[in-house]
Structures are given as structure tokens and as C-alpha cells.
Amino acid sequence: MLEIPVELGARRYVVSVGRGLARLLPDLLAPLGKRHTVVVASRLLLKSHGKALARPLERLGVVHTCVVPDGERFKSRRTLEGVYDAFLKARLGRDGLVLALGGGVVGDLAGFAAASWMRGVDWVVVPTTLLAMVDSSIGGKVGINHARAKNMIGAFHQPRAVVIDPAFLATLPMRELRSGAYEILKCAVLGDAALFARLLRAPLGLEGWERPELDNAIATACRIKAEIVEKDEHEGQLRYVLNLGHTIGHALEAVTRYRRYTHGEAVGWGLIGASWIAHDRGLLAASEYDGIASAVDRLGPRPRMSDLEPIALLEAISHDKKGRAGRVPFVLPTAIGSVVVQHDVKPPEIRRALRAMAGREALRD
Ligand SMILES: NC(=O)c1ccc[n+]([C@@H]2O[C@H](COP(=O)([O-])OP(=O)(O)OC[C@H]3O[C@@H](n4cnc5c(N)ncnc54)[C@H](O)[C@@H]3O)[C@@H](O)[C@H]2O)c1
Ligand SMILES: [Zn+2]
């Protein structure tokens, strides 16, 4: 088992990574003391892993399991109401514990429920998708969607522990696995040339990716995210670098109403776009741009983007909620392992990046 501490003073916690850890949950969480525990779990996840989890959850002292339906549209106020009802029924008090079991949707929802219940109860998260393992479970950002705006209702509420058992990934559809892998690639471009090299050696489309390689990539990505969160818990300047690939990525998702791409696929396209802009500005060597774009392409096919209207994408980018006063900061790679944030990227540059992205689509077909 690997242990990655997230050093946040009084809010310090450990991310544990290891195969079979789900069975050891009661032991791993023993330092938190015996607690009145409510599990918030994905329905699909329980279908495939519920049997194996029954015993450990029983040993943990779980008093109630709140099953939530799967899908982004259930990261909603309505589902949240149901979670609160379950908390009430289970008489979850200030000294209780919420355990989130599922992908990023369940983690964000359960974490937000914990953040707001009685002004904050402790929670732990057991992520079961690759994306949730390497991204959403670390850092304490929790929340739900407004019907017209994603992630608009939220809070910062750090978990007390993150338990990552890569064995869950055996049942994860390949497309969801790749979705998380694009975020791992993002982490590599942000801060780890060795991880980047390993990803370049991964099998095409990740078919048959070996377990030790996958586990190593998960742990390294967690460490990179943890280090960034430690330096900037509440998303000031520094943590913003985690948005690499997300400026164009979010626009692709919004313009296609979150139906065409998985989050990671959109980030994959966005990584190519941001790298192109960096190259276009003379910040990134052509060979490095090629390296990043090929690494993205190697992870697998992504739904097309060349049919989307550039004007609609530019419009969506200018509405990015991270932008202030109409300016949307772009995270631009300058080498594998380093980035800069620039606030003056102009629409014509973004248009050229969109053309470069579309060009790669043709390359692949
Ligand atoms: N809080 C953060 O910092 C942060 C960061 C990134 C993303 N997010 C959020 O995370 C969400 C996306 O997370 P996601 O990609 O995990 O999506 P998800 O939670 O919707 O999971 C994807 C699908 O995989 C299924 N699934 C989960 N575990 C499985 C398993 N082990 N085997 C088989 N199927 C399984 C789910 O039921 C779902 O259908 C978005 O809502 C996004 O906003 C949050
Ligand atoms: Zn992301």
C-alpha cells in the first residue's frame, strides 16, 4: 500500500492506494474512531461490488446505505434532498461519518451533503472510477449542479481519508478508464516528465494496460494533485494550473450539452488546444507540442470536434466561470513538467488552435 499525505495542517489526510484496500476499510478508518456511518453509494457500483463490500461495511458500523442513481444529471438538488432524508433517518449527528462510494458524481454529491449537514460532518471517499481516483477525490471541492450551470453550488470540504482500490477498475468501461487517463496525462504535463514517458509507452488505447503501470500512474497523479492542493487549498492562483486543458475542454462539453464527450475526452482535446496556443506563442517547442498531441491521441479515439462552430466555442470560453472581468486565463505548457498562466490569449489564437485540433482529427481518421 502507498500512502500519500495531503498536508493541510489541521485538515491533513492521507490518500491510500492499493489493491484490495476496500476490504480493509474498517482497519484503515480505525484512527477516526467508531462512528455512526452513512454510506452514499452509486447504484451501479453496488450492483457489481456490493457483495464484496457487505462485510467490510458491516464491520465499519454502517447504519444506513443511501443508494443514488448514476449519471451527471443526478448530481442535483433533488438527489441531494434524498441524501439529506437518509441522513435524518439514520440520525446522523455532528460526530457521524459519511462514506462516499462511487465515481466523481457520487463523491461530489456526498461530499457536499457532508459539508452542509449540520454545518459540516466528516466524510471519507472511496473513489471507484479512474477519474475520481486521480482527480475529484483529492482537494475537497464538492458540489452539485444547478439545472443550468454545472458545479455551481458547492463548497470546500476536505475528506478525512481517501481510500483508492484500483481493483474497482476491473468493471469500469474502457471509455471511462480512458477518461481518467487524460487527467493523468494532464498531471504529467503539469509536473512529471517520467510519468509522461511512461504514458507514452502505455499500450495504444490502453488495451491491456498492465496493473502495476496503472497503479503507479494513479499514485503519481495523486501525488502531483496533492502537492498543488497543499500549496493552494482554496484555489487561488497556483491551483489554477489544474485547469490545464479545461478551458477549451469545458467549452467543448458545454457546446455539446455534456452529451458527446466524457469529461476526460474533452480535456484531451483541450490539452492539444492549449499546447498549440503555447507553441503558436513561441513558448513550447514544436517537438514538445507533437509529443503532447501524440500522447493524447495514443490514449484512444475521441468524438470529433471539427463540426462544431468556432464562434460557439469562443462564446462558451468567454463564459468560463473561472474567468474574471471577461478575461479567461489559459494554462499553457512550456515543457513537459512546466506551465505558465497567461491572461491575454486572443480569439484568433483560439481559432488557430481549433484548426490545429481539427487537423489532428483528420490525421487519425
Ligand atoms: N471535485 C472535483 O475536484 C472534481 C474534479 C473533477 C471532476 N469532478 C466531477 O466528477 C464527475 C465525473 O466523475 P466520473 O468521471 O467518475 O463520473 P461518474 O461518477 O458519472 O462515473 C462514470 C460512470 O461509471 C460508473 N462507475 C463508477 N464506478 C464504476 C466501477 N468501478 N465499475 C463500473 N462502473 C463504474 C458510474 O456508475 C457512472 O455510470 C463530474 O460531475 C465532475 O464535475 C469533480
Ligand atoms: Zn477535469
- Closest ligand by atom to 187 CA: 2
Query: What's the rounded Cα separation, in Å, for the pair 259 and 172?
Result: 19
Residue 132 confidence class, pLDDT cut points 50, 70, 90: very high
Residue 264 has pLDDT above 60, yes or no: yes
Instruction: Give the Å distance between the CA of 240 and the centre of ligand 2.
Output: 12
Give the CA distances from residue 191 to residues 214, 224, 229, 337, in Å, rounded to whole numbers and listed in that order.
18, 7, 13, 4
Residue 322 has pLDDT above 70, yes or no: no
> Does the beta carbon of 76 sit less than 6 angstroms from any atom of ligand 1?
no
Query: What's the rounded Cα separation, in Å, for the pair 226 and 247?
Result: 21
Instruction: Give the Å distance between the CA of 346 and the centre of ligand 1.
Output: 33
What is the mean predicted confidence (pLDDT) over 138-153?
Answer: 94
Query: What's the rounded Cα separation, in Å, for the pair 365 and 355?
Result: 16
pLDDT at 327: 74
Instruction: Give the Å distance between the CA of 222 and the centre of ligand 2.
Output: 13
| Ligand 1 atom with the shortest distance to the CA of 43 | 37
In this prediction, what percent of the chain has a pLDDT beyond 70? 97
Which segments of the chain are extended strands (E)? Answer: 2-6, 13-17, 37-42, 62-68, 97-102, 122-127, 141-146, 149-156, 161-164, 330-335, 338-342
In this prediction, what percent of the chain has a pLDDT beyond 90? 92
pLDDT at 235: 86
Residue 323 confidence class, pLDDT cut points 50, 70, 90: low
Residue 58 confidence class, pLDDT cut points 50, 70, 90: very high
> Is 239 considered catalytic here?
yes
- Closest ligand by atom to 158 CA: 1
pLDDT at 148: 86
> Is 250 considered catalytic here?
yes
Q: Whose CA is nearest to atom 9 of ligand 1?
A: 104
CB 119 within 8 A of CB 85: no
Q: Which of 230, 235, 281, 298 is catalytic?
A: 235
What is the mean predicted confidence (pLDDT) over 224-233?
Answer: 96
Task: Provide the CB-side half-sphere exposure for 105 (13 A, CA).
Answer: 21
Q: Which of 225, 279, 302, 360 is catalytic?
A: 225
- Worst-scoring range by mean pLDDT, 85-89, 126-130, 160-164, 359-363? 359-363
What is the mean predicted confidence (pLDDT) over 334-350?
Answer: 96
The predicted-structure confidence for 83-104, as pLDDT tens digits, reads as follows 999 999 999 999 999 999 999 9
What is the mean predicted confidence (pLDDT) over 250-265?
Answer: 96
pLDDT at 142: 98
- What is the 8-class DSSP label of residue 201? T
pLDDT at 293: 97
Dig out the grid coordinates for 137 from the structure. Answer: 477525490
The predicted-structure confidence for 29-39, as pLDDT tens digits, reads as follows 999 998 999 99
The predicted-structure confidence for 148-171, as pLDDT tens digits, reads as follows 889 999 999 999 999 999 999 999
| Ligand 1 atom with the shortest distance to the CA of 142 | 1
pLDDT at 321: 62
Of 13 and 235, the structure prediction assigns the larger pLDDT to 13
pLDDT at 313: 97
Residue 222 has pLDDT above 80, yes or no: yes
pLDDT at 363: 67
